A = this chain, B = another copy of it.
Amino acid sequence: MPNSSLRPFVRSLELHDELAMNEREAVENLPIREKSFADGEEIVAEGSRPRESCLVLDGFAARTHLLRSGKQQIAAVHIPGDFVDLHSFLLKVMDHSVMAFGDCKVAFVAHDHLLILTEKYPHLTRLLWLSTTIDAAIQRAWIVSMGRRTAEQHFGHLVCELFMRLKSVDLLKDHSFTFPATQAEVGDILGLSTVHVNRMLQNLRATGFVTWQGNIVTVSDFDGLSEMVDFDPAYLNLFKEPR
């Protein structure tokens, strides 16, 4: 019996290319271990050598790196369907930790099973590989935002990114989505202090394009926001194409 928990993941794969019947079955029959995590809980520890990779079934997860100074930087935010630390299958040692961003349910897949998949299904392997390269493209966009955009544009760009990604997996309610973060956590994403995040948000509210109040981000003018932050969704690869 196929594992219905993996539906959102299969759907995410199919966002980028058609899956053959046997490929879909191979994924759906993957043995998994499900687990729920509370807000802030560590899912995978930095420095560990996981024997399984995790994907998000429900809620959000983030990849975060802690510095000796005590400061923290979040390097990625993951939504349902994302194979968060698929790269640990190849990287072996975690260079960051994965934590629950709000309450979150994940599935763990043993690396042994991934290995078998890569031996038997070349096309499926390319799609898994693709998902890690899209992650990397998102990280490049973050680098651009951090280096060359204003704080307001940086946050706005992040909102556009999440808006499009959540839309692609039907997690948008009208023009808004839930974003279970504190202002301090947004600071860890943007590389800003909590105080400055607060002031930046007030500026952004003044533009009328976005508001973020109590876990709900509302985008009242997506085109206006896109324009303001120079957002181009092409890097998200939200189209089907033979790969």
> Hey, which bits of chain A sit against chain B, CB under 8 A?
47, 63, 65, 67-69, 71-73, 75-76, 87, 90-93, 95-96, 118-119, 122, 125-126, 129-130, 132-137, 139-144, 146-149, 188, 190-191, 230, 234-235, 237, 241, 243
Contacts and interface: CB of A to CB of B under 8 A. Distances in A.
A134 to B, nearest CB: 7
A135 B137 CA distance: 11
A147 B73 contact: yes
A93 B125 contact: no
Contact of A95 (B68, B142, B148, B235): B235
A142 B142 CA distance: 10
A68 to B, nearest CB: 5
B122 A73 contact: no
A91 B130 contact: yes
Q: Which of A126, A129, A132 is most buried by chain B, counting CB atoms within 10 A of its CB?
A: A129
A131 to B, nearest CB: 9
Contacts of A122: 118-119, 122, 125
B67 A137 contact: no
Contacts of A237: 91-93
A133 B134 contact: no
Given A118-B122, A119-B122, A126-B118, A90 B243 contact: yes
The 10 closest A-B pairs by CB, nearest first: A147-B191, A95-B235, A136-B136, A146-B146, A87-B133, A73-B147, A75-B140, A90-B130, A73-B144, A71-B148
A241 B125 contact: no
Nearest to A87: B133
A117 to B, nearest CB: 9
Contacts of A90: 126, 129-130, 133, 243
A139 B139 CA distance: 7
A143 B145 CA distance: 10
Given A122-B125, A132-B136, A147-B188, 17 more contacts: A65-B144, A69-B230, A73-B144, A73-B147, A75-B143, A87-B137, A90-B133, A95-B140, A118-B122, A119-B122, A122-B122, A132-B132, A136-B136, A142-B143, A143-B191, A146-B191, A147-B191
